[in-house]
Structures are given as C-alpha cells and as structure tokens.
A = this chain, B = another copy of it.
Amino acid sequence: MTDAYAFLERPEGTREAIMKATYHALCEHGYAELTIQRISDHFEKSKSLLYHHYDSKDELLLDFLDFMLSEFEEGVPGPETGDADDRLEAIFDRMLAEDLPAERHDLIAAMTELRAQAANDERYRRHFTRHDRFFEDHIADVIADGIESGVFREVDPGRVAAFLLSVFHGAMTQRVTAETDRVAAVRAELDSYVEATL
C-alpha cells in the first residue's frame, strides 16, 4: 500500500501500459469526463491496441479497478513488517494521512466517482464487494494477530474491521467532496477508540 506503484514507473507489457495511461487519465479528468480518447492521450503505445482490448470506457475501468485491487493485495505489509499495533497504525497513517499529495487526492476523488457507479451498476457493485471484503479481511487479520500476541484485547476482529472500514471510507470520501477536511479530528478520535477498546 504505497504510492510508488511499479506499473507507473516501469509498466511491463501492454496491459500495464494501458493501466498506467488509465491511472493518469482518471486522475486528470475524473470519471465523468473520462473517455477512451483521453486515456489514449496518455498511452505510449499504438492507440488501436487500446480500442482492440476494450469495447467501452466502463469495461476498461472495471479492468483497471481489478488491476488496482491486485496491486493493493500484493502491496499489503505482512506480519514480518512489525507488531500488530504498528501495522494497524501504518494502516491509519495511510488511510487518514493528514497531508494528501495532489495525485492521491485526485485518485481518491476518482475512486469516489467509480464507487458511486455501483449504486446503479451491478458490475461496479460486484467489484466493490470484493474490494471491501479484501480490506476488511486484511484489517481483521491484523486485529486477530494482535489478540493472539497479547497486544489487543479479546475483541471481535470482523466487527472491528467493519467499523474501521466505515471510518476510513467515510473520512476519505468526505475529504474529496467537501471543503472542510476533518481527517485530523477523525484520526484523533480513532486513536481514543483504539486506546479504550483494543
């Protein structure tokens, strides 16, 4: 879970090159204004390749979402990276970062638009169901590790994970859709919650 995605630095093969172009076009234009033409403007290879692989913008974006989820899955720090409390802290630092670099802001804004598609498009809903399940399972694993090693109290890992995911999701959406950024307040209260319950 880092900003330094390998596929942006050194895209391998056609699919990664397409994913890189999609990433940049999505950050630049957002979902509503995105077109395959605008993605092809960021594409370094033959534009006909892009049209050859995807019939529509949504088909391409759904593939992009799957690709990004795989990147998240591969990039998640495992138990070897530290104690459960440090790993949980790292997730908080990532999800509720006080300073948001412009490109990450734009990516979160675009993801907010893509998630809204799921309100009326079951293809997007299927994706975000997998997306939420992955992040929830990952957080629950960290909590369970912490209980096992005696760092956390005997809580219900799945329940805590569902709660934390709502906090992250709500705070990230709000910060790109309203002018007042409450992330610092949310983070401070989240720390109180962790201290009192975990």
Please list the residues of chain A having a beta carbon within 8 angstroms of any beta carbon in chain B.
Answer: 30-33, 109-110, 112-113, 115-120, 124-126, 128-129, 131-133, 136, 155-156, 158-160, 162-163, 165-171, 173-174, 176-180, 182, 185-186, 188-190, 192-193, 196-197
Contact = CB atoms under 8 A, between A and B. Distances in A.
A166 B170 contact: yes
Contacts of A171: 166, 170
A125 B117 CA distance: 18
Secondary structure at chain A's binding surface: helix, strand, loop or mixed? Answer: helix
Contacts of A133: 180
A194 to B, nearest CB: 10
Given A166-B186, A185-B163, A120 B32 contact: yes
Nearest to A163: B189
A125 B167 contact: no
A162 B113 CA distance: 22
